[in-house]
Amino acid sequence: MTDEHAQPCDDEQPPRSRGIYLLPNLFTTGALFSGFYAVIAGMNGDFVNAAIAIFVAMVLDGLDGRVARMTNTSSEFGAEYDSLSDMVSFGVAPALVAFTWVLDSVGKIGWFAAFIYVACAALRLARFNTQIGSVDKKYFIGLPSPAAAAAVAGLVWACSEFEVSPGPLAYVVAAFVASCGLLMVSNVLYYSFKEVDFKGKVPFMILAGIVLVIGVISISPATFLWLLFLLYMLSGPLLWLWRKRKAL
């Protein structure tokens, strides 16, 4: 007869832990909250704080992965949670902020441009998750969703900071938002900066240049942060054109 109370064999696997790592997921939760706050602030007409919240989400999103790798607390749960957070902070939030800011004034074209952005952000994140470990880490395929969100939020922030009326620019903003979305799902390569060794030594002039850049940004964060991410957004197509011309 079989003993119902027999001890399990030594070669049986122990039960999988159902806990989650706290530290990296705290940063992810902070990014998710910032994206949610951006939506609420945008609905209330507080576009400056809405844009700033998206930039805060971008910083927190950059920290959660690095903290997970540094503390050896990476997990499948964390990766999935991070993707869902990114969808809210860098997909839904920028589109809704832009829509409540000016796109609603142009009717169907406005909501269509916002939807194009949201749909492309979802497709971008899904493609990125399926390509992990199979592409060159030196480049991103398509504009990263945090950079696209920063380009849209930076425009809203800069115009709101300097009290620029967005009404006459509504169609231009719609085209800009839709273009950011399409660049996310394009095959244009963007430099990822993952090869930069932050632990290694660098020439003194590089450090001095970084200090200078930070000083310039501090003069007008809204303007210079938007210009910075606008240049990054344009760098992909410009690099593509340069390679095409070189190949001729």
33 burial via Cβ count (<10 Å: 0-12, 13-18, 19+): middle
The pLDDT value given to residue 158: 95
Whole domain around residue 67: which residue ranges?
22-194+201-247
Number of domains the chain contains: 1
In a domain, 2, yes or no: no
Look up residue 231 and give its two tokens. 């240049």
pLDDT of residue 214: 87
Q: Is position 81 within any domain?
A: yes
Comparing 77 with 30, the larger pLDDT belongs to: 30
Measured CA to CA in angstroms, residue 194 lies from 14, 89, 101, 138, 145 at distances of 37, 22, 34, 6, 16
Residue 14 lies in a domain: no
Q: Are 58 and 149 in contact (CB under 8 A)?
A: yes
User: Tokens for 230?
Assistant: 């606008």
The pLDDT of residue 18: 62
Question: What pLDDT sits at residue 6?
Answer: 47
> E strands, the chain, where?
139-141, 189-191
- Flag whether 163 is in a domain: yes
| SS3 at position 193 | coil
Q: Chain-wide mean pLDDT for the chain?
A: 86
Cβ(222)–Cβ(157) under 8 Å? yes
Mean pLDDT for 40-60 is 96
In our burial notation (b when 16+ CB lie closer than 10 A, e otherwise), range 76-88 reads: eebeebbbebbbb
- CATH number of 151's domain: 1.20.120.1760
Q: What is the pLDDT of residues 177-212, one digit of tens each?
A: 999 999 999 999 998 877 666 666 767 787 788 888
pTM for this entry = 0.86
Query: Within a 13 Å sphere around the CA of 142, how many CA atoms are in the beta-carbon half?
Result: 23
**pLDDT 10s digits, 110-134:** 999 999 999 999 999 998 888 766 5
Q: pLDDT of 211-248, one tens digit each?
A: 888 888 888 899 999 999 999 999 999 988 988 888 77
In the structure, what pLDDT confidence band is assigned to residue 2 with cuts at 50, 70 and 90?
very low
Sign of the four-CA dihedral 193, 198, 203, 207: positive
Does 183 reside within a domain? yes
Residue 237 domain flag: yes
pLDDT in tens, 70-112: 888 778 888 889 999 999 999 999 999 999 999 999 999 999 9
Q: How far apart are CA 231 and CA 195, in angstroms?
A: 20
Rounded to whole angstroms, the Cα distance separating 133 from 135 reads 6
Give the distance, in angstroms, between the CA of residue 87 and the centroid of all CA atoms in the same chain: 9
Residue 13 lies in a domain: no
User: Do the domain assignments include residue 1?
Assistant: no
Read off the tokens for 5. 């109370």
